[in-house]
Structure 1
């Protein structure tokens, strides 16, 4: 009997030990799952959040951002695993999408490998370099001051892009871009240059050659066409007018170049005193194209210059109906009549400037 009781006690103890082992193993497995694979990104009603890591910042800044913006459910488990995987010494800058399904292990994989997503943004047309610098620095990490510095560095621009501080604005095509958020000022310029090269296909270069214009000159003329009209139908016709003037040795007499020279694109009525401004952009005084673009020309305006309408017009004037279209003329007498009708409309609206 005592032997039987001892046997029962031994079996009971064994079962207890086995149960304890199972519990310990289960607890260890749960702890491992919790640290490595349990989803740890905080759920937001606004969608998956982003973690921004600026260039030059370290691990402390990453933790601070995670803490301040409450991006993780459990920061302690992330910190522990980050230390084990050596992340504090291998921080990579960027803009990282934190999917709610990510556990610490997958999150650290993404951060250690620098797997950030690209940022889509639209480059709007601009007239002056500071406008470009502000627009870019609002969307990517590139420093506005550094970008302005590079845009005004003649040696850098000539060596890297074969452009100068005046013609560099021809390099930028308004439209959609995809970049990494931590793109530097120099990398942004390289990206814009690459987009510019892709635009200038052999066919477009051939068309420019047939017009006896360089790509830079096409950009300059397209910038004037773009400021003259927003109407797709009128762009090739206006481009044809200016090309006819260039062929005949006439001055362009383009009002938008005057507005660029005086620094006021809000003027509705160009006055004779405006035509006296001392500037190489004053196409009433100087023959040929101005030295640089007066805005960043879009693809539609560029293609209008490359595929101009064939006609004999050398004059045009805005229609008095306010439609945004223009009236065209072959002779100065016709043009004077069109201009008079437009001036009467401005008078009727009380527009003096």
Structure 2
């Protein structure tokens, strides 16, 4: 009889132990992240989000097979008071324990951020807001804060566009407005090597002035072959005290980059960006210059051209001239093309 009781107790103990182990395995280690038919799944946790909001996001995206077990374990591990914002890759088959480890340690995945060239600061804020959590209004506020920009980046509200190099970046999703600017400043500092600074000095330009001139070159042409030639034209004009007479700066001044044909009345606009009226460079860039445009200014083609005009074949290339008489002939050919296409503006 005693032996029988012992066997029964042993069986019950094993059953109980098995049940406990299964319950623990189900809550802690059982794969609980569902497969996604749309590829990698991401959990976005906004700054200041509550535990209920995190659970709601998980359930709305149907990321968990058993939300209840995740919620139970999260409560026991104190996750509701240790929520860290970010963008988290949630891999298929991940257990509750491993998912909580990732969330509580803030092991978020970075975002591949593409900064496109922009002309106005609000365009930058919109780009950032589309790809990151960064508060666009906070970013716009910092970009308008002259004392902050001067103290932190030695730039002002006019020259701040020179801080940004279009191209690929990597950010954590919940990057703040100031962290975004600091990252752009770090990229800017890496671009401006000692060699590039020496090149700028040899041209009699500061890095900021290189950015301003590169922004004009960039608006003039998308052709890599023409960029250093056009940069050389403008540097020739600067070094000989001539006005730049750059149409892109005029379009900035009138606030219309869609104009195909600059008219004489446009050249009368009262603006420091009107390089038909004012000598030297405008006070700031007219777009965020990319590396190719910057290097075109730093390595200009040496020549004796002072003028250039778009080719009449509308290829995007330019015809260059040493004298104004040659330039007028080139300009007439281009204007004839515009006339034939009935492009009046």
Structure-1-length-normalised TM-score = 0.96
Q: 1:247 deviation in Å?
A: 0.3
Q: Write the distance in 2 (CA, Å) between the matches of 1:22 and 1:211.
A: 85
1:231 aligned to which of 210, 220, 223:
223
Q: Is the contact between residue 35 and residue 93 of structure 2 (CA under 8 Å) also seen in structure 1?
A: no
1:175 aligned to which of 167, 173, 178:
167
Deviation per CA, 1:215-235: give whole Å up to 9, x if none.
000000000000000000000
- In structure 2, the residue corresponding to 1:51 is in which secondary structure? strand
Q: 1:123 deviation in Å?
A: 0.3
Q: Write the distance in 2 (CA, Å) between the matches of 1:321 and 1:106.
A: 62
Q: 1:352 deviation in Å?
A: 0.4
- Map 1:1-80 onto structure 2 (within 5 A): 9-80=1-72
Alignment correspondent of 1:312:
304
1:126 aligned to which of 115, 118, 136:
118
Q: 1:101 deviation in Å?
A: 2.4
- Map 1:79-118 onto structure 2 (within 5 A): 79-118=71-110
Q: Write the distance in 2 (CA, Å) between the matches of 1:207 and 1:219.
A: 13
Q: Write the distance in 2 (CA, Å) between the matches of 1:214 and 1:58.
A: 49
Q: Does 1:197 align with 2:189?
A: yes
The CA RMSD over aligned residues, in Å, is 0.8
Q: Write the distance in 1 (CA, Å) between the matches of 2:273 and 2:102.
A: 51
Deviation per CA, 1:90-147: give whole Å up to 9, x if none.
1111111111121011111111110001000210000000000001011001111111
Larger radius of gyration: 1
Structure-2-length-normalised TM-score = 0.99
Stretches of structure 2 that go unaligned for 5 or more consecutive residues are none
Q: 1:180 deviation in Å?
A: 0.3
Moved more, 66-75 or 181-190: 66-75
- In structure 2, the residue corresponding to 1:138 is in which secondary structure? helix
Stretches of structure 1 that go unaligned for 5 or more consecutive residues are 1-8
Q: 1:48 deviation in Å?
A: 2.6
Q: Write the distance in 2 (CA, Å) between the matches of 1:274 and 1:143.
A: 37
Alignment correspondent of 1:158:
150
